[in-house]
Every structure is written in structure tokens, then in C-alpha cells.
Chain A
């Protein structure tokens, strides 16, 4: 008796907790509401199975508890029942998988015309790079990194000269404009995640990874590192600010480009070609993805 009651209480407690929980998603700020929808579908399908199994178990414990002289029924298998259960489970699984795969297809397909930005991670800070007026990010390589060129940009690449570099400051994104976020790491694995955006991807040294999103509401959001990256992992924070078009333009005007940074640093001539050669060899290596 008490066992059956406890099973019922656990089931009821789980369901009530689910609906009453004060801990739930943050209000979404990107186009990835589809992901939330897929989760809701999954919740309903699996929730029904969970409750059904629990109730059935509680019933059995109550009804078929040992009594004097009782014997179990001998029925080693029941093909018809097992087929039905398999088919129904298969349908339930398909009901979760198919919407999921559709959304994943959207997730990995960057829409044409998405603006590209780069997020660069290192222990334990975030830096960002915007493509500048030409709309293209210049090539980069870890071997080129030094105090004057913290992003490792290729100084000979004209695309990189107008790139906007943001270090130790907030990233700004424009409202309603799809953006492809290219991800780079200098040292170990990191992961760029803004809970309100729902999208994340690891950053792997030696390669460039990506995801895309469209911000759908303005505000300031936390950036957290979501892949263990050493003792400072929990301190690796940043902010992303979603602006409307006017505020975004105003902010962009205030940022410094790579050319400006380099002009300030003014590297002695002659070193560049050597470095660029080294970089060319290395760029080739990073191209094949996995």
C-alpha cells in the first residue's frame, strides 16, 4: 500500500513540479523559438509515457501484491501486445525526431545575406571582430598573434584592414538582422552561449566553427563560456547588446579598425613578409573541417 502511494506521490510530485517550477527558460531573444517548440513536443510525448508507466506500476503493486495462495499468471510473451507497444513507441520517437531534424536543418543552414561576425575566445576572455565596410572578414592565423596583433590578422589581406576589433568590451548586434557567428579559439576549447539566444557552439583552436541567429528583441544579455576551459572557466563572461539600427550605427562609429590599430603600433618593415609566408602554410591546414 505505502509503496503504491509513494509511487503515485512521486509521479504527482514530478508533474506538479514541472508545471509550478519557478525555474524555466529565459524569455527568448532570437529566432530559435523553433527549438523551444521542439522541446515542448518532446515534453508532451515523454511526459505521457512517464505518467503512464508510473501509474501502471503503482496499479500493479496495489493490485497484485502478494496474498496467501496467490500465484502469478504464466504467459511468457504476447506478440500482439509487444508489436503494438513497439509501433506506438516508434511513432512517438518519430514525432520527436522529425521536427527536430527540420529545425536542425535550419540551424546549420546560414541564410544568404547574413552578416558575419567573429567571436574569438582565449583563457579567459572574449574578443569580437566585425567585417567593416567591405562586409568581409580578413584571414587570420594563430601564428601571427603578438602583442600588436592580438587577433592574428594577416596584414597583407586587404579584407582585414577595415575589420573592426573589439577587445574587453561588449558585442553589439543589430535587431532583426540575421548574423553568422564565426567562432575561433586561441588556446583551449570554449563555447559561446547566450541563454536568451538558445544557440551555442564550441570554439576549437585550429579551426573555425559557426552558428547563426537573428536577434528579435533589444536588450543586454550575458555571454557565458559553456565548455570547461580551465580554472577561470566560470569567470569568462561578457555581454552582448542588441540594438536597433540607429543605436547600432552610432556604436559602430566609435570602434577602431585593424588598420588604425596597426598604424598605432607601426611594425618595423621587413618582418611582415616572413610572417605572412608562415601564415600561408598554416592557413591551408585549418581549412578542412573535421
Chain B
């Protein structure tokens, strides 16, 4: 039943309430960890929204000098897209209970993510070599901060990824890890989306 309709129920009238008892006691028909992840993603989204609004607000001032976007970021973006696709494949394989494919694509996804993080660090090095430090300009400060917090979120994802990988190593069945793989995949897609938004904003300035 619709959550808003539930709020109109008069709970002291037993007969009106009875209709509700027949339904399941869960509010959402999702696996509990998936709901947990979704709530967490909402929190992360609020976090990034606030950072982005601080960023866009600051850009409106006329003394804004954009940070040059290293070309390496294009490559990194491509790698992150590929890692997301690999995770998706891993999930598809998990659903079809193909352990070999699952193992392969999960590893590919993780390795590509590491490559992305490494690429981001190289991009930082390139910027610093050009003399763009965080303290020299507000635009630089935002550039480093936004890329850093995105990277930290990916590192957090890699922790979950490594736990899943370890489970598979120890010989878990596809059934046991399917949900973990699915959670990882959703998280990866989400962070890809966030990155695409951040990247677009950095390019636009």
C-alpha cells in the first residue's frame, strides 16, 4: 500500500486497520541490505550536492580562473566507465551462476578502478607540476577537493569489493555472493554518475 495512504489510516478503528495486516510487514519489497545501500546513497548524494552547490556558487564571482583540465582525465573517465561495465557483467554472471565469468569480471572491475585512482593521482601530479596548488586559487582548491572526495568514496567501494572477492576465493557459491556483487555494481554505477557530473562541471568552467 502507498505510504501516504497508510498515513491516513485511523489506527484505533480496528476494521480499517485490518486491511493493512494482510500485507507484509516490510515497507519496501527490497532485500534489507539493498535498502540500506539506497539510503546510504541518498546521504552521499546530499553530500555531493552540497559540495557542488558550494562550487557553483563560488564560480559566479568574477575573479574565477578555471583550473585547466588535464587530458588524462578523459582517459580516466573512460577507464571508470569500463570498470562500471565490468562490474555490471560480473553481476550478470552472478545471476546466471557462472562463477568463472563472475570471477573474471569482478577482478577486471576492481583492477580498472585501481587504474582510475592511479590516473587521478597522476592528473594531480601533472597539475602540481604546472604550479596549480590547492592554496593558489579557489578553483584549484575545488578541483582537488572534489576529485579527492570522489576517490575516497571509490576506495570505500574497493573495501566492499575486496571482501566480496575474498568470499569468492574461499569458495562461496554464486547464490551467496550475488547480493554483494549487486550492491557493488549499484555503488559503482552511482559513483560513475557522480563522476560524470563532476567532470562535466569541471569542463564547463
Touch test A–B (CB under 8 Å): yes
Question: A residues bordering B, Cβ < 8 Å?
Answer: 76-77, 281-282, 284-285, 287-288
When C-beta atoms are compared, the residue in chain A nearest to B13 turns out to be A76
Chain A residues, Cβ within 8 Å of B12: 76
Given contacts A76-B10, A77-B10, 12 further A-B contacts (CB under 8 A): A76-B12, A281-B63, A282-B63, A284-B62, A284-B63, A285-B61, A285-B62, A285-B63, A287-B62, A288-B60, A288-B61, A288-B62
Question: What is the bound-complex CA distance between A285 and B59, given in angstroms?
Answer: 11
6 smallest CB-CB distances across A and B, nearest first, come from A285-B63, A76-B12, A284-B62, A285-B61, A284-B63, A288-B61
Taking the closest CB of chain B, its distance from the CB of A204, in whole angstroms, is: 15
Max chain A C-beta neighbours (<10 A), residue from B10, B12, B62: B62
Taking the closest CB of chain B, its distance from the CB of A109, in whole angstroms, is: 25
Question: What is the bound-complex CA distance between A152 and B61, given in angstroms?
Answer: 21
Question: What is the bound-complex CA distance between A122 and B60, given in angstroms?
Answer: 28
Q: State which residues 61-112 of B face A: CB under 8 Å.
A: 61-63
Q: State which residues 25-55 of B face A: CB under 8 Å.
A: none
Taking the closest CB of chain A, its distance from the CB of B66, in whole angstroms, is: 15
Question: What is the bound-complex CA distance between A288 and B60, given in angstroms?
Answer: 9
- Chain B contact residues: over half helix, strand or loop, or mixed? loop
Chain B residues, Cβ within 8 Å of A284: 62-63
Chain B residues, Cβ within 8 Å of A281: 63
Chain A residues, Cβ within 8 Å of B61: 285, 288
Chain A residues, Cβ within 8 Å of B60: 288
Ordered by A's residue number, 14 sampled pairs between the chains whose C-beta atoms are within 8 Å are A76-B10, A76-B12, A77-B10, A281-B63, A282-B63, A284-B62, A284-B63, A285-B61, A285-B62, A285-B63, A287-B62, A288-B60, A288-B61, A288-B62
Chain B residues, Cβ within 8 Å of A76: 10, 12
Chain A residues, Cβ within 8 Å of B63: 281-282, 284-285
Question: What is the bound-complex CA distance between A282 and B12, given in angstroms?
Answer: 66
When C-beta atoms are compared, the residue in chain A nearest to B61 turns out to be A285
Chain B residues, Cβ within 8 Å of A77: 10
Taking the closest CB of chain B, its distance from the CB of A288, in whole angstroms, is: 6
Question: What is the bound-complex CA distance between A284 and B64, given in angstroms?
Answer: 11
Question: What is the bound-complex CA distance between A284 and B62, given in angstroms?
Answer: 7
Question: What is the bound-complex CA distance between A100 and B121, given in angstroms?
Answer: 54
Question: What is the bound-complex CA distance between A227 and B63, given in angstroms?
Answer: 29
Question: What is the bound-complex CA distance between A77 and B9, given in angstroms?
Answer: 13
Taking the closest CB of chain B, its distance from the CB of A277, in whole angstroms, is: 14
Q: State which residues 183-199 of B face A: CB under 8 Å.
A: none
Chain A residues, Cβ within 8 Å of B10: 76-77
When C-beta atoms are compared, the residue in chain A nearest to B64 turns out to be A285
Question: What is the bound-complex CA distance between A287 and B12, given in angstroms?
Answer: 60
When C-beta atoms are compared, the residue in chain B nearest to A77 turns out to be B10
When C-beta atoms are compared, the residue in chain A nearest to B57 turns out to be A290
Taking the closest CB of chain A, its distance from the CB of B72, in whole angstroms, is: 31
Question: What is the bound-complex CA distance between A213 and B52, given in angstroms?
Answer: 39
When C-beta atoms are compared, the residue in chain B nearest to A76 turns out to be B12
Question: What is the bound-complex CA distance between A77 and B12, given in angstroms?
Answer: 10
Taking the closest CB of chain A, its distance from the CB of B31, in whole angstroms, is: 37
When C-beta atoms are compared, the residue in chain B nearest to A74 turns out to be B12
Taking the closest CB of chain B, its distance from the CB of A142, in whole angstroms, is: 14
Question: What is the bound-complex CA distance between A281 and B62, given in angstroms?
Answer: 9
Taking the closest CB of chain A, its distance from the CB of B18, in whole angstroms, is: 17
Taking the closest CB of chain A, its distance from the CB of B88, in whole angstroms, is: 44
- Chain B positions 1 through 32: 1 when the CB is less than 8 Å from some CB of chain A, otherwise 0: 00000000010100000000000000000000
Question: What is the bound-complex CA distance between A76 and B14, given in angstroms?
Answer: 13
Taking the closest CB of chain B, its distance from the CB of A2, in whole angstroms, is: 34
Taking the closest CB of chain A, its distance from the CB of B107, in whole angstroms, is: 50
Chain B residues, Cβ within 8 Å of A287: 62
Question: What is the bound-complex CA distance between A270 and B9, given in angstroms?
Answer: 80
Chain B residues, Cβ within 8 Å of A285: 61-63
When C-beta atoms are compared, the residue in chain A nearest to B11 turns out to be A76
Taking the closest CB of chain B, its distance from the CB of A285, in whole angstroms, is: 4
Taking the closest CB of chain A, its distance from the CB of B11, in whole angstroms, is: 8
Taking the closest CB of chain A, its distance from the CB of B190, in whole angstroms, is: 32
